A and B are shown apart, each in its own frame.
Chain A
């Protein structure tokens, strides 16, 4: 039987489908359309109602494979891999995409080996090649300095993980129809060698930069840690979150969960304000898809200006206080 269909791997946690699942549907819908095939999503977990699965149909999927089992409550890679491997071998999808999250980046390599398939990590764009119908996978390499386009010409399925927050989540359309298929497994999917014994939540201290509409980020241009409060105050005044470049994080001015960029987080707020950040390619990789970008830097040649909608060449210590004044007048 030849391979057919495009699959996304949905993520589920704390009683809700995670946003990355809807982003994957935005990415995968055009692939399925170009191949003239179905778009399916796999939902693995415990206590999964039809209502929950239907949400994925509203967001663009045609078919949902639900695997609901008490042993799948939390993500244990061996168990999830056994389930996904069995599903792939049974239904033979042509393309499988998951989020480049801690789950996707652990699960997909594990499965790729089991099903003897190629896997491309951390893609920023996916497309179908005309003629061959191959999946074209574009991803950054060497610290974002180059982009590589990758193909998997022979092996199936073609597998990829996709960077979170690099595309908008699919919109909801309650008129969409689809089918929900429940797949059952026995104890063969449980690896008794692994046990999850606990979980503690990270105190992000307001670091939810991936959900914020406005992100104000500071870099080495702030000169010292004390000055970082300028960024914190500006973010607070604008009702936004605080970000930082790696230089700022490495110097200990702000903690790692706030780092924006290739080795930190990717953000797509409505407004990103970069203050004293040069705009290295690695930093740009994490913020250049923001809707609007403002940059303040005293070096007119700083690369950050290339991605800015609005740039101010000048001393941040002089300009930020003036922004406050102007804000007071405007608010």
Chain B
């Protein structure tokens, strides 16, 4: 079974600090990591490989430094990696990203399953996975929370919806985007790390992908970021301090009064 996993390198944003004056993220000292939600796609791919045999290829479009993310994926058990890089890809929106990745997947030859993360934590769109399936014209199952079985060239999967779980059977090759619930990503092993260090990672550019210049990067992107700003926080309501019994009692009374005044007591 040939498994392909597009992953993205993102800034580690759990402790993001914003520069209030410019409205941009403070990037100094911010580490680049594999998009946390892509770890579940990698794990799902490695598990499928362990069960059915075959190989897992990770691929990313990003700056040259994104090679680090690919090596981490190899350390987790993937077999090979491809880095798509070049300044002509800069400024790609999801459409252009998906187009580039689909072209690369087309170059890779036959495959059975593509596993993408639910979304990337920086752009946060969740569009690239479904868009790749649309470009490649293969079945799509989004928000997959469990791969139940793969038999007779079909995958049976469960996906997480607002109101429950839905089971789909899709013909392979297919693209799945996976959610957190699907597994617990493993840590890299020592052997994996060694393999990762030694791996040769091919670098693909526009020429190899045979993409027209107008179809990639900023030029090939239908959408434009027009302006960036920090969200305004509104209100600033009444504040009460409850530092001793008396003031705590008063605060509690005031809260109940507030709720009552708004007609929210049943």
Contacts and interface: CB of A to CB of B under 8 A. Distances in A.
Interface in A89-138: 101-102, 105-106, 108-114, 116-122, 136
A292 B230 CA distance: 23
A113 B255 contact: no
Interface string A199-221: 11110000000000110000000
A117 B94 CA distance: 11
B231 interface: yes
A326 B225 contact: no
A191 B235 contact: no
A181 interface: no
Interface string B153-174: 0001001111111111111001
Contacts of B140: 77-78, 106, 110
User: In the complex, which range does the number of interface residues on chain B fall in?
Assistant: 35 or more
B190 interface: no
Given A121-B125, A145-B25, A288 B228 contact: no
B258 interface: yes
A330 interface: yes
Interface string A143-169: 111111111111100000000000000
A270 B167 CA distance: 36
Interface in B230-266: 230-231, 233-243, 247-249, 251-260, 262, 264-266
Interface stretch (B67-75, B131-139, B194-202): B131-139
Taking chain B's interface residues, is the majority helix, strand, or loop, or is none over half, making it mixed? Answer: mixed
A119 B223 contact: yes
Contacts of B170: 193-195
Contacts of A199: 164-167
B128 to A, nearest CB: 8
B16 interface: yes
Interface of A: 13, 74, 76-78, 81, 101-102, 105-106, 108-114, 116-122, 136, 140-155, 191, 193-202, 213-214, 238-239, 262, 270-271, 281, 284-285, 288, 292-294, 300, 303, 305-315, 318-319, 322-323, 325-327, 329-331
29 contacts: A13-B163, A76-B168, A77-B142, A78-B140, A121-B124, A121-B126, A141-B122, A142-B122, A143-B13, A144-B231, A145-B25, A148-B227, A149-B227, A151-B226, A153-B224, A191-B139, A193-B170, A196-B166, A199-B164, A199-B165, A200-B164, A200-B165, A202-B165, A294-B258, A309-B235, A318-B242, A319-B251, A322-B249, A326-B253
Given A106-B130, A148-B228, A284-B233, 6 more contacts: A152-B222, A196-B166, A199-B164, A310-B240, A312-B242, A330-B257
Interface of B: 11, 13-14, 16, 18, 23-25, 93-95, 98, 121-131, 133-135, 139-140, 142-143, 156, 159-171, 174, 221-231, 233-243, 247-249, 251-260, 262, 264-266
